[in-house]
Amino acid sequence: MHPIKVRAETADDFRAIDVVNLSAFQGEAEAQLVSELRKSDRFIPDLSLVAELNGRIVGHVVLSRVPLHSSAGAVEVLALGPMSVVPSQSHRGIGSELIEAAVARAKPLCYSAIVVAGHPDYYLRFGFKPAKGWGVSANLSIPDDALTAMELVEGALSGGGEIEYPGLFKALF
């Protein structure tokens, strides 16, 4: 297999990212969410990553800013997703490379934690853990078990609290 290159998106990639999301998900909601996130103040251009294979975009992941409200106040953490790999290239480790790259890039940007809503079995293998173990929940209609999280700074989630996903995500959850 040719090496995968993971890099930050550029404006030239938007259409290709749309195609990846439309092919990976059954429906337009995720592609729409990515477009809307780009326009929102939650968006971090350096954390919207594409996976390239032979110069073609075959995967995408976006991490955006969300507040974590606890009794100690509010801190900004990262919400991972949507994430997608084109079906013809899935199960080849591209999703794993995207997550590892996202975590590696988030750390130097000084974010203290990452949360993910959905597919807990997939994310646990990368070191994400059930968020409820820290007493962290989210304002989404998902089961408790579906929220996983990773501390980038030790103890960052120890105060628990609620992740406030922006309304944009309500189209998915």
Ligand X SMILES: CC(C)(COP(=O)(O)OP(=O)(O)OC[C@H]1O[C@@H](n2cnc3c(N)ncnc32)[C@H](O)[C@@H]1OP(=O)(O)O)[C@@H](O)C(=O)NCCC(=O)NCCS
**14 to 33, contacts with ligand X by CB under 6 A?**
24-25
Dihedral (CA of 109, 11, 63, 128) sign:
negative
Task: Say which amino acid occupies 127.
Answer: G
How far is CA 147 from each of CA 10, 22, 41, 48, 155, rounded to the nearest angstrom?
A: 29, 24, 23, 21, 18
Closest approach of ligand X to the CB of residue 145, in Å: 13
Among 3-11, 83-91, 141-149, 154-162, the segment contacting ligand X (CB under 6 A): 83-91
d(CA 130, CA 123): 10
Smallest gap from Cβ 170 to ligand X, in A, equals: 15
Binding mask 109-148 for ligand X (x = CB under 6 A): ---------xx-xx--------------------------
- Does 85 help bind ligand X (rule: CB under 6 A)? yes
Q: Which of 44, 75, 93, 160 contacts ligand X by CB under 6 A?
A: 93
Q: With binding defined as CB under 6 A, does residue 92 bind ligand X?
A: yes
**Shortest Cβ 124–ligand X spacing (Å):** 10
Q: Which stretch binds ligand X (CB under 6 A): 2-10, 32-40, 75-83, 159-167?
A: 75-83
Taking alpha carbons only, the member of 30, 26, 145 closest to residue 80 is: 30
Q: Which residues make Cβ contacts (< 8 Å) with residue 143, sequence separation at least 6?
A: none
Burial (Cβ within 10 Å: 0-12, 13-18, ≥19) of residue 27: exposed
Distance CA 21, CA 39 (A): 17
Residues at the contact surface with ligand X, assessed by CB under 6 A = 24-25, 81-85, 90-96, 118-119, 121-122
